[in-house]
Amino acid sequence: MSWLEWTDSSFRGLDLTKLKVDQAYFNISNGMNQHFYLYTLSQECISCPFRKIKKAAALNDTILKLDTTRRIELRLFTKDHGPFVHPNVVVDNVFWSMQEQLGEFGVYDLTIKPSGATAFEIAKEPVSTFSSLIIVLFIVLCIYWIFKYINKFYIKRLASQVTEINIPPDSPENVNEPSEPKTKKRLKSLDIFRGIAIVLMIFVNSGGGHYWWIEHAIWNGLHFADLVFPWFLFIMGVCIPLSIKSQINRQVAMSSIVKKVIKRSITLFLLGLCLNTLYGASFQSIRIMGVLQRFGIAYLVISLIHLAFVSNSINAETRIQQLFYDVRMIWKQWLIVLSFVIFHLIMIFGIKASNCERGYFGPGGIHEYMAHENCTGGIAGFVDRNVLGESHMYQRAKIRSVYDAQVFDPEGVFGCLLTCLQVFLGLQCGVTLLVYPTAKERLRRWIIWGIGLLILTCFLTFFSVENGLIPINKNLWSLSFVTITAGLAFLLLSLIYFLVDVKNIGDDFWTIFLYPGMNAIVLYVGHSVFHSMWPFHWSVDNMNTHFLLLLENLYTVMIWVLISHYLYHKELFYNI
């Protein structure tokens, strides 16, 4: 049936090839002359009621497929309580219950004897899903080393064909020759950071091997995929003061800089809008917002704020004043951005929307036992649904299947407020880069920012995923989400800067991310447009194992990394 995560194609007449990734068979053999009703509750659905799955008919076998992604609780009721039932009610009607972490491609039996006795057993052992991760990573590592040595061999061969001409220091050709002016060294760490973000984005958008902890968190929490978008925004913010300072140094007119900012923002927004029409361009249902749209809005707002108060020169001050100079020089900009944060919090905790209580951060639907059924996303969802219209919002959010929630757009309008904070924290990082010339000063401040933001996250969340004041939530772009992702971005950039730009450690490895980072927009648009086409994508049979999915997803990443290397060596660089 599969290359790895191998199992028999059939078992006791059950066709195991019909199982999808992370699925198992569950068989109820009912020997009693009485119907039962199976209800389940997955660990991924927080504060939810049990959901009815199927009726187990009297004196019959009932076979169904269950999801094995997360731990699941199963209950058999003697009465049909409708589509949902609260965990703490009608306990007297519970005939049998169990909590279990089911495994992929396993077969599980629940036998109900005529006497009413029950027996649960694993008829067929599930397969290991993490072995695929280890094996595929080993394959990728081998490919990396092969390419590395091929590249070294090619360079040596090329070098051997070149005849070196050594000119003596006192030869006429070398006398009175003016020395080349020193050029400012380009920081590789910025391109590498951006490259890590785009490579990870391609990987998770391709599927991330269908591992739940790699995919986006359904609602609250922070998974691997949730880091990519905010890190992109962060590094965009880092580059804003660098770009503006460079243009000012070249004596570019302020009006020209503003026009360029507006043009780039509009281009990003329209490009994102075009990508939203890949599967159809109906004006009745076109999605208005998206990733690039939010890039465009945040870039426009933060760039214009920075331009309004930017200093034409950065001068050194006294030793004491220099301690916070990178913050002091943009303190007016900080006040404006913090006003966005205050307005955002006032809206959440002070405004009561229709069908919503103040301060609600949940997914609505069946969350908290349907107490907020029509309040998906709280005030954020309310604003987006009224501003954009439900038909123009993202329709495939997983909360709709898990929580029976309303339509919600994770890149909606309301979240743009704190997206501006995300970009501005990157801008603060870039200002620090401009103000302080030494690596020690930069690293010290970046690390303090990173640790400080992580500590702030702990206070906002009370060290809890669900029960804090402001939970970490990528869909809502909550304040704690901004602080934790920006804090991690400060620390990651510090690490890369130290290893690459300060110590020059691991240049061969970092080139994997360096070249993608120099053509990030090409890779983002390219993988969005061609993600379902060969040679960027392939499939074998029903692709129902983590091994095949992970192999295909990493293959897609490798193709785009190779394209970025080709563009680099051809000196082709595209940006907006």
Kindly report, residue by residue over 507-529, the tens digit of the pLDDT: 888 989 999 999 999 999 999 99
For residue 418, being part of any structural domain is answered with yes
| Domain final position from 113, 128, 143 | 128
Q: pLDDT (tens digit, 9 = 90+) per residue, 369-400?
A: 999 999 999 999 999 999 999 999 999 889 99
Q: Are residues 210 and 80 in the same domain?
A: no
For residue 133, being part of any structural domain is answered with no
Task: Supply the pLDDT for residue 9.
Answer: 86
| CATH code, 59 | 2.60.40
Q: Are residues 556 and 454 in the same domain?
A: yes
Lowest mean per-residue pLDDT among 246-260, 315-329, 546-560 = 315-329
Q: Are residues 438 and 368 in the same domain?
A: yes
Q: Are residues 209 and 77 in the same domain?
A: no
Q: Are residues 121 and 200 in the same domain?
A: no
Selected residue with higher pLDDT from 185 and 430: 430
Task: Supply the pLDDT for residue 180.
Answer: 41
Q: Are residues 369 and 511 in the same domain?
A: yes
CA angle 494, 497, 501 (to 5 degrees): 160
Instruction: Kindly report the pTM of this predicted structure.
Output: 0.91
Task: Supply the pLDDT for residue 61.
Answer: 94
For residue 206, being part of any structural domain is answered with yes
Query: How high does pLDDT run on average in the chain?
Result: 89
User: How many domains does the chain contain in total?
Assistant: 2
Q: Are residues 107 and 232 in the same domain?
A: no
Q: Are residues 279 and 393 in the same domain?
A: yes
For residue 158, being part of any structural domain is answered with no
Sheet holding 23-30, edge to edge: 60-67, 23-30, 107-112, 118-124
Domain residues for the domain of 229 are 188-569
| Domain final position from 128, 154, 170 | 128
Q: Are residues 279 and 354 in the same domain?
A: yes
The rounded Cα 503 to chain-centroid distance in angstroms is 30
Task: Supply the pLDDT for residue 179.
Answer: 42
* Contact by Cβ (8 Å): 553, 208: yes
Structure tokens at 388: 């954009």
Q: Are residues 88 and 195 in the same domain?
A: no
Strand (E) or helix (H) holding 85: strand 84-85
Q: Are residues 103 and 211 in the same domain?
A: no
For residue 504, being part of any structural domain is answered with yes
Taking each helix axis as running N to C, give the angle between helix 546-569 and helix 520-530, from 0 to 180 degrees, rounded to the nearest 10. 140
C-alpha 240/C-alpha 224 separation (Å) is: 26
List the one residue out of 51, 38, 52, 39 whose CA is nearest residue 112. Answer: 38
For residue 256, being part of any structural domain is answered with yes
| Domain final position from 80, 104, 128 | 128
Q: Are residues 406 and 528 in the same domain?
A: yes
Helix, strand, or coil (residue 106): coil
The phi-psi region of residue 477 (left if phi > 0; otherwise alpha if psi is between -120 and 50; otherwise beta) is left
Strand (E) or helix (H) holding 119: strand 118-124
For residue 108, being part of any structural domain is answered with yes
Task: Supply the pLDDT for residue 149.
Answer: 77
Strand (E) or helix (H) holding 517: helix 507-518
For residue 145, being part of any structural domain is answered with no
Burial class of 186 by CB neighbour count within 10 A (0 to 12, 13 to 18, 19+):
exposed
For residue 54, report the phi and psi dihedrals to the nearest 5 degrees.
-165, 155
